[in-house]
Amino acid sequence: MPTVTFLPGYRKVTVPGGTTILDAARAAGLSMNVVCGGQGKCGKCLVFIKEGTATFDRDKYRRFFSDDEIARGACLACQATVVGDVLVNVPAESLIQEQKILVEVPGQEGIPFNPAVRKYVVRLEPPSLDDTTPDLTRVLEGIEKQGGPPPTSIYAPLDVLCFLPLVLRRNEWNATATVALAPVGYRLSSVDGGDTSERLYGAAVDLGTTTVVAYLWSLTDGRILATASNYNRQISCGEDILSRVNFSRKSGLSQLQQLATESINEALTTAADTAGIDREEIFEVMVAGNTVMTHLFLGIDPAYMITEPYIPVVRRMLSTGAGQIGIAAHRNAEVYTFPAVSNFIGGDIIADILATGMTDREEATLMVDIGTNFEAVLGNSDWMLSCAGAAGPALEGGEVLFGMRANPGAIERVAIDAETLTPTCSTINGVRPRGICGSGLIDLLAELLRTCVIDRTGRINLDISHPRVRKGQYYPEYVVAWKKETSVGKDIVMTENDIRNLIMSKAAIHGACMTLLDAAGLEPGDIGRVCFAGAFGNYLNKENAITVGLIPEMPLDRVENIGNGAITGANIALINRKRRKELDAIARRITYIELNAEPSFMDRYTSSCFLPHTDFTLFPHVQ
Ligand code: FES
């Protein structure tokens, strides 16, 4: 079998002939950028063949490479297959970089504190011949005396009973009982010797497709003790949801379950170490993830969600023992997963809804969460409508020549001087630019329109005589950063093709918002608030989002960025038992509108494929 050696680092792996270089890289433990899921559409998995041979149709993918790169043996790892031994150079930008993960969200300490797990210190009378009450009854009565629930409502698992006699007698009948609200009644999670009432912790987790964020809380006083984040280790099995489901179908389900658990455990360990606590004293974990992520995390086969008639195994909120799925917490801790509305409106969106507070308001709120896919929810305390669709990867950096995720070196803000057409850019971490992330792309689109470099169809005006506005190798383009200013050794440009892809992405989102409004019988002016959730929304310039027609026009003070709504929602459900109880009812109340089955959506989408729209009356203040 051929050996593939990856530079730098000389990682070697032996694979059968015909294996893609991408799969060989995965086998070698490299996490490559696979924005399009290995379909040959994004050009982000660039590698160079230094020695040996690989089969690759260079003409077909020519548009992704410069002449210099071709001369150096450039190919796409996802499309090149191994024939014999091969030496492959993987440039740093083709590997997944440290991402700007949205961890800190303001306002978390203000969540009303009403946890579902409590500790009771019980000082018990030892048994005697005159008092032969069993140990468990003695403890349960002690709990009730301390203001806890009645003994008949508390279930005691076997392993607590097994340790109970020893714990009580070794500690002279002084103990601390941990009691958690269960789906039915209460559960005695633990009985420990002495007074441990100060040590009671819970964790909220946002299990994203790319990243994992965890908040560690004190459940005795409602303080945040630490936060942590890391990558979802499932990335090595595919970057997007579809490739993960396909991986699980090839008997990779248990591997994906384990990788999700390891990713959460890594975040919990970091948070626990930062706070100086023992993970064994975490008694509840609340996990918000999309529907596929939740299935994979619990080891439930998601295969039937991607084939007709597209059925998930479960939509309701589930609670599972931490020990049962390998979560690094107390062995009797309960791990809760958020309910879902559909395959596309998952637990992360229910968490977003909780974060917006829209279920408590009379005014209509429009919540939009944008990633490779987008989800939109419109509603108030009485009703909610939702829809989802593909934004295309353009807003996450795919299908845009120099698009990239929000990693160091990504241009995240752009302003263009109307006189000189010179851009002023700021990059993540202030380093030399490597590409442009979603918020930078929306800025660019708005600024190019404002300075008349592009027209309302997105066409670049080549009549402008300026070195930054040029014909380009394949498409007309605007130079955002000159080669000497970048860290990628070439000019960073925005091409007309990039602009077309961005316009299609924004049109899908605007068309979906208008479809929801129409279904509710509302006009854009009836919306009380628009809430952007997720990392993309958090860094978005609101004015520019309206200028390009990403969302309906409205006063800027009605547009809010709620940041990582999934972690905020998970925090709320962790520390407020009343809110947690409402989750299933919220999910059931949401009506899902299938855009593909909605005849008006296509018309709305087509009308939105202009900047900002074909109907100027919808954007009266955009010049
Ligand atoms: Fe290879 Fe997108 S992952 S082109």
Question: Residue 49 in contact with residue 91, Cβ under 8 Å?
Answer: no
Interval between CA 43 and ligand 1 midpoint (Å)? 5
Res 397 pLDDT > 70:
no
Q: Which ranges constitute the DSSP H helices of 318-437?
A: 322-325, 347-356
Q: What is the pLDDT of residue 102?
A: 64
Q: Bridge-partner residues for 123, per DSSP?
A: 174
Q: What's the 283 CA to ligand 1 centre distance in angstroms?
A: 42
pLDDT digits (tens, 9 = 90+) for 549-578: 999 999 999 999 898 999 999 999 999 999
pLDDT at 408: 85
State both tokens at 7: 């530079």
Nearest in space to 275 (alpha carbons), one of 214, 193, 192, 323:
214
Among 184-198, 372-386, 451-465, 528-542, where is mean pLDDT lowest?
A: 528-542
What pLDDT was estimated at residue 578? 95
Length reported for the chain = 623
Q: Which atom of ligand 1 is nearest to the CA of 32?
A: 3
Report the pLDDT averaged over residues 446-452: 96
The DSSP H or E segment spanning 536 is helix 534-539
Write out pLDDT tens, residues 109-158.
778 999 999 999 999 999 999 999 999 999 999 999 999 999 999 999 99
Lowest pLDDT segment from 38-42, 389-393, 488-492, 597-601: 389-393
The confidence score (pLDDT) of residue 99 equals: 62
Ligand 1 atom nearest residue 45's Cα: 1
> To which residue do tokens 């009771």 refer?
120
Cα–Cα distances in angstroms (integers) from residue 90 to residues 11, 76, 230, 610, in the given order: 11, 11, 23, 38
* Segment 231-260 mean pLDDT: 86
Residues 273-325: tens digit of each pLDDT = 999 999 999 999 999 999 999 999 999 999 999 888 899 999 999 999 999 99
Nearest 5°: phi and psi at 105? -125, 125
The CA-based dihedral angle spanning residues 144, 149, 155, 157, taken in that order and rounded to the nearest 10 degrees = -60
Ligand 1 center to 37 CA (angstroms) = 6
Compute, in angstroms, the gap from residue 193 CA to the centroid of ligand 1: 56
pLDDT value at residue 396: 66
Query: How far apart are the CA of 363 and the centre of ligand 1, in A?
Result: 43
Query: Per the structure block, which two tokens stand in for 114?
Result: 């009403």
- Best of 76, 90, 372 for a ligand 1 pocket test (most atoms within 8 Å of beta carbon): 76
State the closest ligand 1 atom to the C-alpha of 79, by its place in the atom list counted from 1. 1
CB atoms within 10 A of CB 510: 25
Is the confidence at residue 34, as pLDDT, over 80? no
CA 487 to chain centroid, in Å, comes to 28
Burial class (CB in 10 A: 0-12, 13-18, 19+), 304: middle
Q: Which atom of ligand 1 is least distant from the CA of 239?
A: 3
Question: Atom 4 in ligand 1: which residue has the minimum CA distance?
Answer: 40
Is residue 379 within 8 A of residue 590, CB to CB? The reply is yes
* Residues contacting residue 555 through CB under 8 Å, at least 6 positions apart: none
> What is the whole-number distance in angstroms between the Cα of residue 496 and the centre of ligand 1?
21
* Pocket mutation for ligand 1, best pick of 21, 26, 44, 46 (most atoms within 8 Å of C-beta): 44
Q: Which ligand 1 atom lies nearest to the CA of residue 76? A: 1
Q: Which residues form the pocket of ligand 1, taking CB atoms under 6 Å from any ligand atom?
A: 34-36, 38, 40-45, 76, 78
Backbone angles phi, psi at 560, to 5 degrees: -125, 145
Cα of 107 from ligand 1 centre, angstroms: 39
Kindly give, in sequence order, each residue whose CB lies less than 8 Å from that of residue 232, ignoring residues fewer than 6 positions away.
207, 208, 209, 210, 211, 212, 259, 260, 263
User: Rounded to whole angstroms, how far apart are CA atoms 500 and 477?
Assistant: 12
Question: For ligand 1, what atom is nearest to the CA of residue 43?
Answer: 4
Mean pLDDT, the chain, rounded, equals: 92
Distance CA 199, CA 194 (A): 12
Task: Tell me how far the alpha carbon of residue 399 lies from the centroid of ligand 1, in angstroms.
Answer: 10
Task: Give me the pLDDT at residue 29, please.
Answer: 76
Residue 13 φ then ψ, to 5°: -150, 145
pLDDT digits (tens, 9 = 90+) for 401-413: 898 888 889 999 9
In angstroms, rounded to a whole number, what is the distance separating the alpha carbons of residues 439 and 18?
39
Count other Cβ atoms within 10 Å, centred on residue 278. Answer: 11
Ligand 1 centroid from CA 76, angstroms: 6
The confidence band for 104, taking pLDDT boundaries of 50, 70 and 90, is: low
Confidence at residue 145, expressed as pLDDT on a 0 to 100 scale: 97
Whether the ω angle into residue 8 lies within 30 degrees of 0, i.e. cis, is: yes
Range with lowest mean pLDDT among 100-114, 231-245, 510-524: 100-114
**pLDDT tens digit string along 480-494?**
999 999 998 889 999
Find where tokens 């100060």 sit: 198
Mean pLDDT over 61-80 rounds to: 90
Task: Select from 20, 31, 35, 400 the residue to mutate for testing ligand 1; criterion: most ligand atoms less than 8 Å from CB.
Answer: 35
Ligand 1 atom at minimal distance to the Cα of residue 33: 3
Domains of the chain are: 3-94 (3.10.20.30), 115-193 (3.10.20.880), 201-337 (3.30.420.480), 356-391+506-614 (3.30.420.40), 394-501 (no CATH)
What is the number of other CB atoms lying within 10 angstroms of the CB of residue 70?
13
Ligand 1, atom nearest to 61 Cα: 4
| Residue that the structure tokens 């990582």 belong to | 564
pLDDT of residue 1: 86
pLDDT at 32: 83
Query: Per-residue confidence at 352, pLDDT binned at 50, 70, 90?
Result: very high
35 C-alpha vs ligand 1 centroid, how far in Å?
6
CA–CA dist 243, 237 (Å, integer): 7
Q: How far is the CA of 440 from the centre of ligand 1 (A)?
A: 22
Do the Cβ atoms of 283 and 189 come closer than 8 Å?
Answer: yes
Handedness of CA 393, 396, 402, 404 (dihedral sign): negative
Q: Which helix (H) or strand (E) holds 503?
A: helix 496-520
pLDDT, tens digit, 9 for 90 and up, residues 496-514: 999 999 999 999 999 999 9
Atom of ligand 1 nearest to the CA of 37: 3
What integer pLDDT is reported at residue 480 of this predicted model?
97
DSSP states of 237-295 as a string? G-SSHHHHHHHIIIIIHHHHHHHHHHHHHHHHHHHHHHHT--GGGEEEEEEEE-HHHHH
Q: Give the range among 14-28, 95-109, 468-482 with minimum mean pLDDT.
A: 95-109
Instruction: Determine the pLDDT at residue 237.
Output: 77
Closest CA to 584 of 294, 378, 316: 316
Lowest-confidence region among 215-229, 445-459, 526-540, 550-564: 526-540
Atom in ligand 1 nearest the alpha carbon of residue 77: 1
* Ligand 1 centroid – CA 12 distance (Å): 22
Strand partners, 175: 122, 193
ipTM (interface pTM): 0.99
* 149: Cα separation from own chain's centroid: 38
User: How do beta strands 11-14 and 3-7 pair?
Assistant: antiparallel
Q: Which of 23, 39, 236 most suits a substitution to test ligand 1, by most atoms within 8 Å of the C-beta?
A: 39
Q: What is the pLDDT of residue 98?
A: 61
Give 216's DSSP letter: E
Alpha carbon of 442 to ligand 1 centroid (Å): 23
Measured in degrees and rounded to the nearest 5, phi and psi for residue 575 equal -100, 0
More confident residue, 250 or 204: 204
